[in-house]
């Protein structure tokens, strides 16, 4: 009887130790790792749609596999690797895929994810671009003319730091076209700044603008960067695309992270109310 009790206790201890040692690990079910590798390869090549499809395949196998939600988050935001999330310009804690990744993550992975967002928040505290900051742009238009920021005084200006390859930036275009058509004659101007650091040459931007039929002002960093001037993106602390700012008639930043539905609401307040 005593021997049986000792054996039972020993088995119980082994079970507890096994459980504790297994906690915190993101164990993958069969088939998950190969699909994750494919998803990350597509992230690296900026093929956001294909990457998302493979991460969704992972979630079909295991709907609680946190790294797959992180992969989808990367594709959603147009970043090529998970570590690059920490370099984004806006916090990510309010995004659904981030919330799901944190929800299903083990303790160690949860701390890693929350660390990305913490770095963003800390960096934003010291960034130059913020509500109330004076704003000034320089650069060249696609016709190789000097861009005159001062000419836009007395107008509200939506400034979009962007890149031709960015999926999230592309998704903002329909809303911007709608806003331009509705409010341009009432005093709204739009300026898209294509960031040279992301590989957008003038020729590439021209081809993109013609294809998408963008009617607003286009500024390219390429000529200014080559002439030795600091790139606009790094000058203003812009670390991801798209980053969209609304500037008032006096040249001060009125709103940051102004995209999607929030853009509609802010413009409605300015022009319709």
Domain edges within the chain? 18-124, 140-271
Place of tokens 């806003």: 179
Q: In angstroms, rounded to a whole number, what is the distance separating the alpha carbons of residues 98 and 79?
A: 14
Report pLDDT for 42: 96
CATH number of 140-271: 3.40.30.10
Report pLDDT for 68: 97
Distances (CA, A) of 19 to 25, 64, 250: 11, 19, 62
Report pLDDT for 233: 53
Report pLDDT for 165: 87
Q: Which CATH architecture has domain 18-124?
A: Alpha Horseshoe (1.25)
Q: In angstroms, rounded to a whole number, what is the distance separating the alpha carbons of residues 187 and 200?
A: 29
pTM over 0.75: no
Are 260 and 175 in contact by the 8 Å Cβ rule? The answer is yes
Which residues of the chain, if any, have pLDDT below 50?
A: 1, 9-10, 12-25, 224-231, 234
Cβ atoms within 10 Å of 26's Cβ, excluding its own: 14
Report pLDDT for 103: 96
Nearest to 193 by CA among 234, 228, 153, 156: 234
């Amino acid at each position: 009887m005593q021997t049986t009790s000792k054996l039972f206790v020993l088995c119980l201890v082994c079970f507890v130790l096994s459980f504790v040692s297994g906690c915190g690990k993101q164990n993958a079910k069969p088939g998950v790792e190969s699909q994750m590798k494919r998803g990350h390869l597509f992230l690296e090549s900026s093929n956001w749609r294909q990457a998302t499809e493979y991460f969704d395949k992972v979630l079909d196998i295991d709907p609680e596999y946190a790294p797959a939600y992180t992969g989808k988050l990367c594709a959603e935001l147009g970043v090529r690797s998970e570590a690059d999330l920490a370099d984004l310009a806006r916090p990510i804690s309010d995004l659904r895929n981030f919330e799901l990744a944190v929800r299903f993550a083990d303790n160690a992975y949860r701390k890693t994810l929350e660390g990305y967002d913490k770095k963003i928040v800390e960096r934003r505290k010291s960034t130059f671009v913020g509500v109330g900051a004076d704003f000034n742009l320089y650069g060249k238009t696609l016709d190789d003319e000097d861009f005159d920021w001062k000419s836009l005084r007395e107008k509200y200006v939506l400034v979009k730091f962007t890149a031709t390859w960015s999926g999230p930036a592309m998704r903002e275009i329909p809303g911007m076209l709608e806003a331009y058509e509705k409010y341009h004659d009432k005093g709204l101007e739009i300026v898209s700044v294509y960031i040279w650091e992301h590989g957008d040459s003038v020729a590439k931007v021209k081809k993109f603008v013609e294809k998408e039929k963008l009617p607003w002002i286009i500024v390219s960093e390429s000529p200014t960067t080559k002439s030795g001037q600091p790139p606009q993106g790094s000058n203003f602390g812009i670390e991801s695309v798209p980053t969209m700012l609304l500037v008032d008639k006096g040249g001060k930043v009125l709103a940051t992270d102004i995209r999607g539905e929030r853009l509609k609401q802010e413009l409605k307040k300015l022009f319709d109310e």
